[in-house]
Structure 1
Amino acid sequence: MNTRVLSRRELNRAFLQRQQLLRREPGSAAELIERLVGLQAQAPLAAYVALWSRLENFDPAELSSLMTARQAVRASLMRATIHLVTGDDCLRLWGLVHPVADRGLRGSFGKQLAGADVDAVVAFGAELLSREPYSRARLRDVLGERWPDWDANALAYAVSYLTGTVQVTPRGVWGKTGPAALQTIESWLGRPPVPDPSIDALVLRYLAVFGPASVADVQTWSGLTKLREVVDRLRPGLRVYADEDGRELFDVPDGPLPDPGTPAPVRFLPEYDNLLLSHADRRRVNPAGRPVPLPPGNGAAIGTVLIDGDYRADWRHHRGTSLQITPHEPLTADEQQAVAAEATELLGLIGSADTPVVVGQSPK
């Protein structure tokens, strides 16, 4: 049998539909967060913009309530970066992705930790974080005093990488501020992580919302390696396609493949949305291969813009002054109008309706 080849446009529209970006849909924030296997949340307020772009009538208070009730948390998970996930998913995911944190620690601090009793440090640090939240700076001071002959900064990272922690509220709560303070997953959620979570189930969940995708794509999203054997085990129950370069792509049996001619509305995304980070081959939404050179922010003041389904502009909110859109290529008059209209809607979330929207000119 000949393998069906999916065009870039087909992959783009399938991805947008599964990410709920072809149209906003009704539903709860918790349901969508879990269906998407979390949202990138390195910036504390990024998830609010991500949900606003995907849900009908999204109210930031809904997510804030989930976080203060500890039903949703920000934790270091996929790719050893901060993701917003439901509490249940946090308990499932940590047992699968903690090897990524271990590898990241060795890569970043292996030399500084040479000769250190890392197990003893992590056990001591975990005990501290089980009692109350600690900032990494405070953790560094305590650990440095106890083990003065070792690099205190590396010790603090060892604890935060290997223990399994969440960033506690009020950080990440809409309209509030707070330090990046860490507490163990178990003490914050009142339950231990799942002892033997299913990697097969995780791969299937990824394919359902990011597929069709290659093995390399799954590994890029998760940070895990050696997933070929997992996909091969699942292969009899998967649909198999190829991309235009001949790479093998896998999909769940009921994964939607909408008509490639389906219109894609303008969508504003927060900085580093998972849409831009979750494939080894990112051309399905970033055909020009543009980097995302955004300075770190709070997640609700800067981001990227999808136009006809592709990353073609950046946005920045200058509070009290303007919402500036910077295209990477010329826009048609209709595209400029659509971008300005969606920007005005975004201001209903992050600013005020009377803030000017400025659609700039692209570089020649």
Structure 2
Amino acid sequence: MQITARALNRATLHRQLLLERAPLDVADAVRRVVALQAQEPASPYLALWNRIHAFDPAELDAALAGYEVVKSTLMRVTLHAVHAADHPVFWAAMEPRLRASRLGDPRFTASGLTPDDVAGLVPDLLAYAAEPRSGAEIEGWLETRLGARVERQAWRMLRQYAPLWHAPVGGPWSFGTRQSFTAARVRPPAAADPGRAAEALATLIRRYVEGFGPASVADMAQFALVQRTRVRAAVAALGDGLERLEGPDGEVLYDVPGAPRPPEDTPAPPRLLPMWDSVLLAHAGRSRLVPADHRAAVIRMNGDVLPTLLVDGRVAGVWRRIDGGVEASPFHPLADGVWDALEEEAAALVAFLADRDPLVYRRYDHWWAKGLPVAETRLLGG
């Protein structure tokens, strides 16, 4: 069976709850979309605001405070918010990649510590972090435990490898610059067991396809940032649990049998996506949602992914919150009806942010100062 590019777009948007806001609670929604990128504390909140009907940010506050939804370094070696029940298998799937990238990093190896040292150190670290500990407290514990000063970069590599969760510290979005950490409540399986890692990756790949598919091997490898050889083995292990499709350019795509694939003419309402929205980064072929001629404007060279206007299911511009409302800047002219829908979204976003962080993402305004290829700019939602 062949699937068109537009049908592929609609399938992913449907699974990511971006065709229609769903009446789900926070935990169910996070599990449905698999993972939310969380480098910027506000982004999981804005991601769910785009996806959940009548989303109350206090629900995410409570889910994070109660460790029902947890924030940890996982896929692509970046911070994600995931359901706590998913963390053990996601961490186990990512462990080989985390080990190679963090414990093999020159900033870590310069400390003199080895992976064998870490294997003996991590259980004690997790025991110490059974209750939330500040970064400074853990650094002090490490120095006492090792009998030597630990460079901050080495500690950073270690905490990104170990199965630690970020503990909420308050503020408008539960996390701020003052970081605190706690041990994962359910410990992932032993890192040294490659069979467990392979089994866990197969589970992660199936969940990824459910949440972002249909997808190619290259897409799967991009989502997790793991070697394609590991992904191919995971796909083979899933066997009949995945079906094959032919993509728009003839590439092999995989999907879960019976997964929803809406008609390609299904309407896709405008959305104001947050920085680093997962749907923009989950495929090797970014053109599923990001037109090739807009990619450099949206995904910056340093890795920043700007807040975007999603129009007819594809990135059509950027937005930022400024005094007076939401500044919307499309890369090409938009129809009056689209502007009307964006006005409604912007007014709702202004109200959503009012009691939390009215000028969210303001520290990224330098990208606008440097110039963006916009066709026009309008102030909405004021």
TM-score over 0.5 for the pair: yes
Question: Which position in structure 2 is the counterpart of 1:211?
Answer: 213
How many angstroms does 1:270 deviate by? 1.1
CA distance in 1, matches of 2:318, 2:141: 41
Matched, 1:74 2:98: no
**Partners of 1:126 and 1:184 within 8 A in 2:** no
**Partners of 1:113 and 1:151 within 8 A in 2:** no
Question: Which position in structure 2 is the counterpart of 1:327?
Answer: 330
Question: Which position in structure 2 is the counterpart of 1:307?
Answer: 311
Q: Deviations over 1:26-59 (max 9, x none)?
A: 1111011112222111111211111111111111
Q: 1:363 to 1:223 in 2, by over 3 A?
A: same
Question: Which position in structure 1 is the counterpart of 2:368?
Answer: none
Question: Which position in structure 2 is the counterpart of 1:130?
Answer: 127
Q: Which moved more, 1:11-20 or 1:130-139?
A: 130-139
Describe the SS at the equivalent of 2:72: strand
CA distance in 2, matches of 1:166, 1:173: 19
Question: Which position in structure 1 is the counterpart of 2:269?
Answer: 265
Q: 1:351 aligns with which of 329, 350, 354?
A: 354
CA distance in 1, matches of 2:167, 2:123: 15
Question: Which position in structure 1 is the counterpart of 2:188?
Answer: 193
What percentage of aligned pairs have identical amino acids? 32
CA distance in 2, matches of 1:284, 1:136: 39
How many angstroms does 1:94 deviate by? 1.4
Question: Which position in structure 1 is the counterpart of 2:40?
Answer: 43
**Partners of 1:8 and 1:283 within 8 A in 2:** no
* Letter aligned with residue 332 of structure 1: A
* Letter aligned with residue 113 of structure 1: A
Q: Deviations over 1:229-271 (max 9, x none)?
A: 2212334342211222221001111111211111110011111
How many angstroms does 1:340 deviate by? 1.8
Q: 1:150 to 1:166 in 2, by over 3 A?
A: same
Q: 1:242 aligns with which of 239, 242, 246?
A: 246
* Letter aligned with residue 159 of structure 2: S
Q: Deviations over 1:202-243 (max 9, x none)?
A: 222111111110011111111222211221233434221122
Q: Deviations over 1:86-110 (max 9, x none)?
A: 1111122211112121122156426
Question: Which position in structure 2 is the counterpart of 1:202?
Answer: 204
Q: 1:328 to 1:50 in 2, by over 3 A?
A: same
Q: 1:171 to 1:89 in 2, by over 3 A?
A: farther
Q: 1:172 to 1:240 in 2, by over 3 A?
A: farther
Describe the SS at the equivalent of 1:264: coil
CA distance in 1, matches of 2:171, 2:226: 27
Q: Deviations over 1:175-216 (max 9, x none)?
A: 77562222221xxx2x32256464333222111111110011
Describe the SS at the equivalent of 1:331: coil
Q: 1:149 to 1:38 in 2, by over 3 A?
A: same
How many angstroms does 1:130 deviate by? 3.2
Counting only pairs closer than 5 Å after superposition, residues 289-300 of structure 1 correspond to structure 2 as 290-291=295-296, 292-293=298-299
CA distance in 2, matches of 1:347, 1:310: 22
Matched, 1:5 2:2: yes
Q: 1:220 to 1:148 in 2, by over 3 A?
A: same
* Letter aligned with residue 272 of structure 1: W
Question: Which position in structure 2 is the counterpart of 1:288?
Answer: 292
Structure with the higher fraction of residues in helix conformation: 2
Matched, 1:101 2:98: yes
CA distance in 2, matches of 1:203, 1:223: 12
Q: 1:175 to 1:229 in 2, by over 3 A?
A: closer
**Partners of 1:330 and 1:362 within 8 A in 2:** no
Q: 1:135 to 1:129 in 2, by over 3 A?
A: farther
Number of residues of Structure 1 aligned to a counterpart in Structure 2:
349
**Partners of 2:11 and 2:262 within 8 A in 1:** yes
Q: 1:245 to 1:329 in 2, by over 3 A?
A: same
The CA RMSD over aligned residues, in Å, is 3.2
**Partners of 1:169 and 1:178 within 8 A in 2:** no
CA distance in 1, matches of 2:249, 2:268: 24
Normalised TM-score (structure 1): 0.84
* Letter aligned with residue 158 of structure 1: M
* Letter aligned with residue 81 of structure 1: T
Q: 1:328 to 1:222 in 2, by over 3 A?
A: same
Q: Which moved more, 1:67-76 or 1:324-333?
A: 324-333
Runs of 5+ in structure 2 lacking a partner? Answer: 191-195, 360-371, 377-382
Describe the SS at the equivalent of 2:307: strand
**Partners of 1:328 and 1:363 within 8 A in 2:** yes
Q: Which moved more, 1:92-101 or 1:175-184?
A: 175-184
Runs of 5+ in structure 1 lacking a partner? Answer: none
